[in-house]
Amino acid sequence: SKHFALGSQVTKKSTLTFVFLWLFGSLTTVLAIIFSINLGSLYILLAITLYFIYAIQFHIFIRRTGNFNIVASLCHPLLFICFVVIFFKSWLDINVFKRIYWKGRRIDL
């Protein structure tokens, strides 16, 4: 996890902003499905369509890195939540606590 936050420090802010907006959009599709239940079938269909658009796009991306099942793509919000948690922990370790644990050793920054 030490490379997550260190890598983000050298990434252009505009690129990092677009990545986080994309991740946030993916998570928002789940909320859209939940909130659309009270609004009617057209909104439910629209929310589910957006969810599957993200799933297809994510599947195209992960197929470049390995042989992943479509189920992984359909679970993309869970994967993104895990990514954000690891990234945030790494960011806290580097920027707030000023320490990194690597191979059982503590490295003070």
For 42, the domain range is 2-108
pLDDT in tens, 36-52: 999 999 999 999 999 99
Tell me how many domains the chain contains. Answer: 1
Q: Which residues does the chain have with pLDDT short of 50?
A: none
| Cβ–Cβ under 8 Å, residues 108 and 10 | no
Run of H or E including 56: helix 41-63
Sign of CA dihedral 40, 41, 42, 48: positive
| Cβ–Cβ under 8 Å, residues 46 and 36 | yes
Q: What is the pLDDT of residue 33?
A: 94
